[in-house]
């Protein structure tokens, strides 16, 4: 590569750099998209930011894709679109959005107009000037717009998440409005339903300067929430436990399964030896003693040895699987604008 080609490549890289990438995962939000983009555009132009808005269509069945294509045609320099062939969920939508983002600061927000784009300039400043790796929104007035059936479980969920993750300064892990340094989103893997725990994922990846900003929470203007129901909170707790386990033992399953299995096996073996030793002692002393197989302790001990062996083997297999795991984030994308 000669000097002119290197110069041209550097210029293209410079042009490709943007101040902000706004990622909007969505499912059936065709009514709100034009208003949302107009609002984002107004804020960006007022702040003098170079920007892109990436709409990730998570298999919508309404006119969302048509609206995104119309916005792209009208604003090709600022609107990009990604369309899944089917509905995968919010985490996969964020994953592909993170992968495509070009901005030095990445902002995520929901498409339902409950997150205010007016918060973007201050979120950007907290990342670029105050040095945060990640800033999460905190919707203090959420209880005014949401029913108790949603707010009470959310408070319990967030309290548990703070305790398990060790990130005690965050009050709302599940707030869709967040800002990230570009390096953060390029170095974390969001899969399954782990979008609730992106701050925890970032901390585990070494990006531990995590802040919070109080943001305005607006009532939903169009449609209805896609995230209601008890199932959401049950899955949230299960995901949190999974993440805690994977963070501590994901790459070393033998450390937990092998340890517990060995401990159970040794306790069972010791118990069998005691039962057998007691029988032998009684035989040598001529003391009447029932058959070993009539003692419940014998079967309990034998069961512990069997279960301990199974756990040890499970740990060994886990080690093999963790070193040869296939790619998890493999989603069928129909179109990229």
DSSP 287-324: -----GGG-HHHHHHHHHHHHHHHHHHHHHHHHHHHTS
pLDDT at 10: 44
Tens of pLDDT along 113-162? 989 999 999 999 999 999 999 999 998 765 555 566 566 777 787 888 88
User: What is the distance between the alpha carbons of residues 45 and 191, in angstroms, rounded to a whole number?
Assistant: 33
Please report which confidence band the pLDDT of residue 260 belongs to, taking 50, 70 and 90 as the band edges. Answer: confident
Exposed e or buried b per residue across 229-251, where buried means at least 16 C-beta atoms within 10 angstroms of its C-beta: eeebeeebeebbeebeeebebee
Domain boundary among 196, 225, 249: 249
- 200-245 residue pLDDT tens: 889 988 899 999 999 987 766 665 655 555 566 666 666 677 667 6
* Structure tokens, 253: 């399953």
Judgement on whether residues 157 and 199 belong to the same structural domain of the protein: yes
Both 277 and 195 in one domain: the answer is no
Residue at which a domain ends, from 199, 222, 249? 249
CA distance 83 to 24: 12
Residue 87 domain-assigned (yes or no): yes
Q: Are 180 and 233 contained in the same domain?
A: yes
Count of Cβ atoms closer than 10 Å to residue 180 Cβ: 29
**Number of domains observed in the structure of the chain:** 2
Residues 86-114, mean pLDDT to the nearest whole number? 94
Whether residue 240 sits in one domain with residue 299: no
- The answer to whether the beta carbons of residues 72 and 337 sit under 8 Å apart is yes
Instruction: Please indicate, yes or no, if residue 27 is contained in any of the structural domains.
Output: yes
C-alpha–C-alpha distance, residues 132 and 124, integer Å: 10
78, 147: one domain: yes
Q: In what order do the strands lie in the sheet with 103-108?
A: 210-215, 134-139, 178-181, 103-108, 18-26, 51-57, 79-84, 333-336
Q: What percent of the chain has pLDDT over 90?
A: 43
Answer positive or negative: Cα dihedral of 140, 142, 144, 149.
negative
CATH code (residue 66): 3.90.550.10
Other CB atoms within a 10 A radius of the CB of residue 2 amount to: 7
Q: Tell me, yes or no, whether 235 and 279 share the same domain.
A: no
Using the 3D structure, point to which of 249, 272, 291 is the last residue of a domain. Answer: 249
> Given this model, what pLDDT does residue 315 score?
78
Alpha-helix residue ranges (DSSP H) falling in the chain: 3-16, 33-47, 64-74, 90-100, 120-128, 148-165, 182-185, 198-204, 230-249, 259-285, 296-322
Same domain, 232 and 289: no
Task: Verify that 93 and 209 share a domain, yes or no.
Answer: yes
Sign of CA dihedral 103, 107, 110, 114: negative
199 and 126 within one domain: yes
Residue 230's domain spans which residues? 14-249
Q: What are phi and psi of 179, to 5 degrees?
A: -125, 140
Same domain, 240 and 273: no
**Phi, psi (5° rounding) for residue 106?**
-110, 125
Least confident of 25-39, 223-237, 289-303, 314-328: 223-237
C-alpha dihedral sign at 201, 202, 208, 212: negative
Residues 6+ apart with CB under 8 A from 8: none
| Same-domain check for residues 184 and 123 | yes
Cα dist from 218 to 64, 142, 211, whole Å: 21, 8, 22
**Which of 48-52, 65-69, 139-143 has the weakest average pLDDT?**
139-143
| Residue 264 lies inside a defined structural domain of this protein | yes
pLDDT of residue 144: 55
CA–CA distance from 160 to each of 169, 171, 244, 247 (Å)? Answer: 13, 11, 12, 16
- Mean pLDDT, residues 22-30: 95
Same domain, 296 and 173: no
């Amino acid at each position: 590569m000669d000097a002119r080609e290197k110069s041209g490549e550097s210029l293209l890289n410079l042009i490709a750099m943007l101040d902000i990438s706004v990622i909007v995962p969505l499912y059936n939000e065709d009514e709100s998209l034009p208003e949302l983009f107009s609002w984002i555009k107004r804020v960006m132009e007022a702040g003098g930011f170079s920007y892109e808005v990436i709409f990730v269509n998570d298999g919508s069945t309404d006119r969302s894709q048509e609206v995104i294509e119309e916005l792209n045609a009208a604003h090709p320099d600022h609107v990009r679109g990604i369309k899944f062939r089917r509905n995968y969920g919010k985490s996969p939508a964020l994953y592909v959005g993170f992968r495509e983002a070009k901005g030095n600061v990445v902002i995520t927000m929901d498409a339902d107009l409950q997150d205010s784009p007016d918060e973007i300039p201050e979120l950007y400043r907290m990342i670029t000037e105050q040095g945060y790796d990640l800033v999460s929104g905190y919707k203090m007035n959420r209880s005014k717009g949401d029913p108790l059936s949603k707010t009470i479980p959310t408070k319990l969920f967030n309290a548990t998440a703070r305790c398990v993750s060790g990130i005690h300064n965050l009050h709302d892990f599940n707030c869709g409005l967040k800002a990230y340094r570009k390096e953060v989103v390029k170095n974390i893997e969001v899969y399954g339903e782990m979008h609730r725990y992106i701050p925890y994922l970032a901390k585990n990846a070494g990006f531990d300067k995590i802040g919070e900003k109080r943001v305005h929470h607006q009532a939903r203007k169009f449609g209805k929430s896609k995230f209601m129901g008890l199932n959401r909170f049950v899955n949230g707790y299960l995901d949190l436990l999974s993440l805690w386990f994977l963070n501590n033992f994901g790459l070393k399953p033998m450390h937990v399964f092998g340890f517990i299995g060995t401990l159970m096996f040794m306790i069972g073996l010791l118990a069998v030896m005691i039962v057998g030793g007691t029988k032998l002692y009684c035989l040598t002393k001529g003391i009447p003693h029932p058959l070993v197989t009539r003692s419940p302790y014998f079967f309990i001990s034998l069961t512990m040895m069997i279960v301990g062996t199974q756990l040890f083997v499970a740990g060994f297999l886990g080690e093999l699987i963790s070193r040869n795991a296939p790619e998890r984030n493999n989603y069928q994308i129909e179109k990229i604008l």
